[in-house]
Structure 1
Amino acid sequence: MDTQNLTIHFILLIFIPFSFSSFIPVDNYLLNCGSNTNVTLFNRLFIGDDFTNKGSILISADQSISLTNQNPPPNLSTLYQTARVFTKMGSYRFLLKQNGTFFVRFHFSFFKAQGFDLKDANFSVLVGGKLILNSFNPKAGTNDEVIKEFVLKVESNLLEIVFIPVSDSGFGFVNGIEVFSAPEDFVVDYGARFVDPFGVREYKNLSYDVLETVHRINVGGVKLTPFNDTLWRTWIPDSDFLVFKEAAKAVVSTHTPDYQKGGATREIAPDSVYMTAQEMNRDNQSILASQFNITWNFQVASVGVRHLVRLHFCDIVSPSLNLLYFDVYINSYSAYKDVDLSSLTFHMLTSPVYVDFVVDSDDSGVIQISVGPSSLSSSMRINAILNGAEIMKVVSVMDLSSHVASRKKRLLEVLVGSIVGGIIVLLLVIAVFLVCRGRRKKKPKLRTVESVGWTPLRMFGGSSLSRMSEGTAYQSPGSYGHFGLKIAFADIQLATNNFDESLVIGSGGFGMVYKGVLRDNLKVAVKRGMPGSRQGLPEFQSEITILSNIRHRHLVSLVGFCEENSEMILVYEYVERGPLKDHLYGSEGLVQPLSWKKRLEICIGAARGLHYLHTGFTQGIIHRDIKSTNILLDENYIAKVADFGLSRSGPCIDETHVSTNVKGSFGYLDPEYFRRQQLTDKSDVYSFGVVLFEVLCVRPAVDPQLDREQVNLAEWALKWQKKGMLEHIIDPYLVGKIKESSLKKFSETAEKCLAEYGVDRPSMGDVLWNLEHSLQLQESDQEVNVTYANSIGDSEVNVTSSIVLRNPPSNIRLEGDYDNNYSDVSTTKVFSQLITREAR
């Protein structure tokens, strides 16, 4: 690079970082480990981790030690002068606001303190249950500071990072941790090219791979520090990787990249990467006579391991469009022929793009990248360029259970030995006690109520599955409801095997959910808030208040709760088959998709539960978080609405709405509620409408990986519904299996639920009626000769011939229905639908 270009480039580095606003992650956790003070690195604040609980972060490491380097070398960042050492398994837990792709970075530096030489550390690291570092020894790095960076998808609202020493006498450590959300489109599941000896084909589901950064190269430019990158990355020059330096010529542009929708962004790579490049050195007459490529060799530690190669391009060398054509080779295989940046960038010069390739490293442990002229190149314009390159290893993740099995085995051996010895001692003590007791006169002793144990709760209007100790059965209600619902923390520990991670069946914003068995063999789901945190207190109180006062077959029952030792634990009936979402999209153990009839029955069950919530009380209850994840299925596929942490009482009789802060799940959220912050039961109706289309089409409520017009399920489905062509987007499994009349009634119901204004949406009673009608149409041998009102929610039904419904709609309360788990609700609106003109 000549002196003039180098000077220009340094000037750009000074001004570019301040010219544009930085990316602001939704979640952004920066920890200064082993310290109680905050430090700054690259203008970013790392908070000290020397706490038990701090906001949304929890450290669980009873055997951890804080170390400080007493003799740090000059200019060593304060972040690297302290460390947290784990002599036993320990973890950090981060409560996330939003799921998606995340950056996770670990900072390591070596020093000696308090008998520890950090170069001797040997440990494994798990992130979100995935083993991403196995038997890791940081001293293998050549630098004094080692940074390990990972990019991975997080699908839980609780991210746990676990450090596990490899041996009982070993230890692990870390100086700093970064956990922050990446831009939404940073890793996409389509478009990557898999390159091997057999050719090029598409590589799918890239976002589900765990990626570890190996190389990040600013081709043709100088080193870029996190100051110059909106994602705080470091880019190094390419000169050390060039195979034949005379073949390349560095170029620099003074024009800011022209970012176009659908191309690269400043988060994919900073401006400085796209403003520099290496092009073919056509000034060297000795090599110009022959065709040649520019080639880089990148050493990778793993042989025969899959890697993501991300190449960055920006045409800063052409005077006009359609002059630059070149080929890309990886490991000597043709990876992309006849690259035309003009067509890739919507016919704009200096517009950045990137291309993802997936390759396997060969036996040499080298990934080779080459760019060279295309056969389409004009003889006067032979050239090829590259602006940047990133190489990331696709990590073969392992499960936590397999990694800690050996440790559990050793613990088991110690435990068994202790138990055997304890039993012998206990038998001797019992024998002595019995001898002494036999010499005394036995006195009758009354049995205390505390010894009676756990019995089903059948009072206070609670669930038939709720539990209580008879010793507390008649105490007055406490701050969270009746004391009768309280369960001792020790009983919950026993039920969950002390919160064994192998029993985790889910997680959410409140905390982890464990499968457990109470001591009377009742299966339960135990939802544990983050220990010591009171952040979820409103949700905790809300669930207890609501679920202790309702009973319905289609609502998950509260078994009890615990608030001992600063714990917030909710215990529910265990719903065997889990969330509806798993049955729609498939999960382990699920073989066959749900039939249309089964889907209708599930929707009907959920609608019954919601109808009861809305109408079974004076003010009613608004759920506020209806989605396929919160509809659970029992062993008979009976639907049960769950998760009432965000629920609110409905408006009073003289009110139309409840004014409240907007809460809910993106994609299911009522847009009118979002705009006006006025909550009504019609907000639940909107969310339920999204679920109906989700059940029919089997695709997420929001899928950012799709084209813009398809991202939002509600908008996309309504467009097809209004065209009268909804059958084109339904679940392929259902094609030919739904009667036209049933599909029409179902889709009309969903469409009405998604009306822009709540006043135009049907009540849940009307939705329930129409869903049951859709089921009747599906099951009938011929079309039922009934003319229903065209508008869902109209109060009139015109009967043109006599019919007999096999089952009365569930929202009509008959004598004795309460024993069959039907709710005691007002049925005025329901019966209004049965009024015929003749009856009037």
Structure 2
Amino acid sequence: MINLNISGNNLAGNASANSSEKGVVVGPTIGSLLFLLVLVMLAIFISKKRPRNAVPWSSSVNSGKSTALLGQEIKSCFSHVDIVGITNNFEKVIGGGGSGNVYYGRLENGCEVAVKVLKNSHSQGTKEFVAEVKLLMTVHHKCLVSFVGYCEEGANLIVIYEHMSGGDLRQLLSGRTSTSAFLTWERRLQVALSIAAGLDYLHSGCNPPIIHRDVKTTNILLNAKMEAKVADFGLSKAGKKDDVTHLSTVVAGTPGYIDPEYYCTNLLTKKSDVYSFGVVLFELITGRTPLFDVSGERFHIVQWATARLVRGDIQSVADPKLGAQYEVNSMWKVADLAMSCTSQQSHSRPRMSDVAIQLKEAIEVETYYRQRTGCSFAEVQHSSSSSYEVSSSFPSASFLPPAR
């Protein structure tokens, strides 16, 4: 209580009679104003101290609706205003698909990033967004694209991950890329091994195991050093110890890559990823897409390549762009592996850990050949076709293809 002394003032009326009443009225008023002033100053101080990357309060929260990610203490959450700044108002598109576009971005520290913006917030898109963000926040492997952050603000669902300047594997195999990069056979083997290592980590290194469910060349990204990483986990599912997960009747995936057993039974297993990976192996071998036309007839890469391989014809299957600059036994080993991975019955397919071992052996064969012939990467690309004949004389019978 603040007591005001006005006895010395010459005021009209009975000052002595009213002085106590005025002290009672004016005192609480000034005290309340001071208290409000303290509250305002405290609010300003807290707002200034609030971290920039705190979880934003989106319109979905204000309307009483919330999604699975809100409320989690995630330091990698960005506001939509942040995203606009990072992408320079979505200036440069570097990729895209059915779910939305991917934009080039740069963080305040100069780090380059890729910003994937979902087209809309329909239920399926939101489900895939939540699944991808949750998975990326928990898995960490050098062969998986690194997670940077996300934005979940109203209808804006955005995922931010490391920028892979080399583009996707499909672009490189087809030659539709802004760079002059060419994937030699040895580099293709390294790419295949990286993919296998990333999938093996998801299958065996995570608990519960994770099934990617959308393994394809457009989801394999390469950095400036041509190192490959697996991306896009929107369709991923947590598996079970018995390798089987019962799903709904809706089969997810990309035509040409979907496991035929999964398509018929609606039972998803880790071997479904193995089948898709086998299709990717055939793409690395042939340079073709999973589905293509020849003389007006439609072919699937697995049936097309297998029909020739069982006749012992590796030359007509191998990508012509390679110019026969590969160790033929290494090529055969990967071709056999691709056929094994794409077996119609899942129980006949190898595990990803076994796939990785066989790819390492194929790389050893290719490396031995290059050391034996004295060819470097650049020399191999420009050497004569006689190197194919030399490669056929590789001495180790353990790497020779089985009789056809």
TM-score, with length taken from structure 1: 0.37
User: Any conservation in 2 of the 1:593–1:733 contact (CA below 8 Å)?
Assistant: no
User: Does the residue aligned with 1:645 lie in a helix, a strand or coil?
Assistant: coil
C-alpha spacing 1:554/1:564, structure 2 compared with 1 (3 Å): same
Please list the CA deviations of residues 243-290 of structure 1 after superposition, one character each: whole Å capped at 9, or x if unmatched.
xxxxxxxxxxxxxxxxxxxxxxxxxxxxxxxxxxxxxxxxxxxxxxxx
Q: Cα 1:706–1:695, aligned 2, differ >3 Å: closer, same or farther?
A: farther
What is the CA–CA distance in structure 1 between the aligned matches of 2:227 and 2:399, rounded to whole Å? 28
Map of 2:160 onto structure 1: 571
1:450, 1:469 within 8 Å by CA — same for their partners in 2? yes
User: 2:109 maps to which residue?
Assistant: 520
1:740 and 2:328 aligned: yes
Change (3 A) 1:788 1:763: farther
Considering Cα pairs closer than 8 Å and 6+ residues apart, tell me whether 1 or 2 has the greater RCO.
2
Query: How far did residue 665 of structure 1 move?
Result: 0.6
Judged with a 3 Å threshold, the aligned counterparts in structure 2 of structure 1 residues 695 and 482 are, in CA distance, closer, same or farther, namely farther
Q: Counterpart in 1 of 2:230?
A: 641
Quote the Cα distance in structure 2 between the aligned partners of 1:657 and 1:564.
Answer: 32
Structure 1 residue aligned with 2:310: 722
Counterparts of 2:324 and 2:217 in 1: how far apart (Å)? 24
CA contact (8 A) 2:243 2:269 kept: no
Quote the residue 1:765 is aligned against: 353
Distance 2:366 2:300 in 1: 28
CA distance in 1, matches of 2:216, 2:295: 20
Partner-residue secondary structure (3-state), 2:278:
helix
Relative distance call for 1:449 and 1:573 in structure 2 (3 A) is farther
- 8 Å Cα contact 1:658-1:679 kept in structure 2: yes
How far the C-alpha of 1:567 sits from its partner, in A, is 0.9
Residues 492, 518 of structure 1: 8 Å contact kept: no
The one-letter code matched in structure 2 to 1:529 is L
**Quick one: distance in 2 between partners of 1:623 and 1:533?**
22
Distance change >3 Å, CA 716–CA 790, structure 1 → 2: closer
In the alignment of these two chains, the number of paired residues is: 323
User: Are the counterparts in 2 of residues 689 and 750 from structure 1 also a CA contact under 8 Å?
Assistant: yes
Q: Secondary structure at the match of 2:310?
A: helix
Deviation at 1:585, TM superposition (A): 0.4
Gap change, CA 1:592 and 1:515, over 3 Å in 2: closer
Partner amino acid for 2:203? H
Q: Residue in 1 aligned with 2:95? A: 506
What are the residue-to-residue correspondences of 1:233-632 with 2, within 5 Å? 449-450=49-50, 479-480=68-69, 482-500=73-91, 503-531=92-120, 533-632=122-221
Cα distance, 1:724 vs structure 2 = 1.0
Does structure 1 residue 752 correspond to structure 2 residue 340?
A: yes
Could you report, residue by residue, the CA deviation over 1:170-208 in whole angstroms, capped at 9, with x for unpaired residues?
xxxxxxxxxxxxxxxxxxxxxxxxxxxxxxxxxxxxxxx
CA shift, 1:483, in A, is 2.4
1:553/1:706 Cα in 2 relative to 1: closer, same or farther (>3 Å)? farther
More strand by share: 1
Residues in 2 aligned to 1:555 and 1:784: alpha-carbon distance in whole angstroms: 37
C-alpha distance in 2, partners of 1:549/1:706?
Answer: 48
Secondary structure of the residue aligned to 1:538 is: helix
CA distance in 2, matches of 1:698, 1:654: 35
Shift of 1:613: 0.6
| Residue aligned with 2:315, SS | helix
For residues 620 and 786 of structure 1, do their structure 2 counterparts lie closer, same or farther at Cα, with a shift above 3 Å needed?
Answer: farther
CA deviations over 1:513-536 (Å, ceiling 9, x no partner): 111112221211111112554440
> In structure 1, what is the equivalent of residue 382 of structure 2?
none
- Counterpart of 1:614, as a letter, is H
Q: Distance in 1 between matches of 2:242 and 2:257?
A: 28
Q: How far apart in 2 are the matches of 1:723 and 1:532?
A: 50
Per-residue CA distance 1:199-226 (angstroms, 9 max, x = gap):
xxxxxxxxxxxxxxxxxxxxxxxxxxxx
Map 1:84-233; keep pairs closer than 5 Å. Answer: none
Give the structure 1 partner of residue 364 of structure 2: 776
| Corresponding residue number in structure 1 for 2:386 | none
Q: Per the alignment, do residues 655 and 716 of structure 1 end up closer, same or farther by CA in structure 2, a change over 3 Å counting?
A: closer
**Matched residues in 2 for 1:780 and 1:754: separation?**
28
State whether residues 55 and 77 of structure 2, in contact with CA within 8 Å, keep that contact through their aligned partners in structure 1. no
* Distance in 1 between residues matched to 2:270 and 2:400, nearest whole Å: 23
Measured after TM superposition, the shift of residue 740 of structure 1 is 1.7
Letter in 2 for 1:759: H
CA gap 1:754/1:654 in 2 versus in 1, 3 angstroms: closer
Structure 1 residue aligned with 2:380:
none
Task: Give the AA of the match of 1:754.
Answer: T
Read off the aligned partner of 1:744 and give its amino acid letter: W
Root mean square deviation of aligned Cα: 2.6
Equivalence map 1:655-666=2 (5 Å): 656-660=244-248, 661-666=250-255
Could you tell me whether the CA contact under 8 Å between 1:777 and 1:784 is conserved in 2? no
Distance (Å, rounded) in 2 between the aligned partners of 1:615 and 1:658: 19
Deviation at 1:593? 2.5
User: SS at 2:215's partner residue?
Assistant: coil
Amino acid at match of 1:575: M
Q: Counterparts of 1:656 and 1:591 in 2: how far apart (Å)?
A: 43
Cα deviations by residue, 1:366-390 (Å, 9 ceiling, x for unpaired): xxxxxxxxxxxxxxxxxxxxxxxxx
Contact 2:167 2:177 survives alignment (8 Å):
no
Give the CA deviation at 1:730: 1.4
Distance 1:590 1:704 in 2: 27
CA distance, structure 2, for counterparts of residue 611 and residue 777 of structure 1:
22
Q: Contact conserved, 2:243 with 2:270, CA < 8 A, in 1?
A: no
Deviation at 1:774, TM superposition (A): 0.5
Are 1:623 and 1:646, in contact at CA under 8 Å, matched by a contact in 2? yes
What letter matches 1:702 in structure 2? L
- SS at structure 1 position matched to 2:117: strand
- Post-superposition Cα deviations, 1:418-440, rounded to whole Å, max 9, x if no partner, equal xxxxxxxxxxxxxxxxxxxxxxx
Gaps of at least 5 residues in structure 1 are 1-444, 454-467, 472-477, 792-840
**In structure 2, do the counterparts of structure 1 residues 558 and 655 end up closer, same or farther at CA, with 3 Å as the change threshold?**
closer
Which structure 1 residue ranges, 4+ long, deviate > 6 Å from structure 2? Answer: 788-791
Question: SS at the partner of 2:154?
Answer: helix
Name the CA distance, whole Å, in 2 between partners of 1:733 and 1:498: 39
Q: 2:76·2:150 contact (CA, 8 Å) conserved in 1?
A: yes
- Does the Cα contact within 8 Å between 2:308 and 2:314 map onto a contact in 1? yes
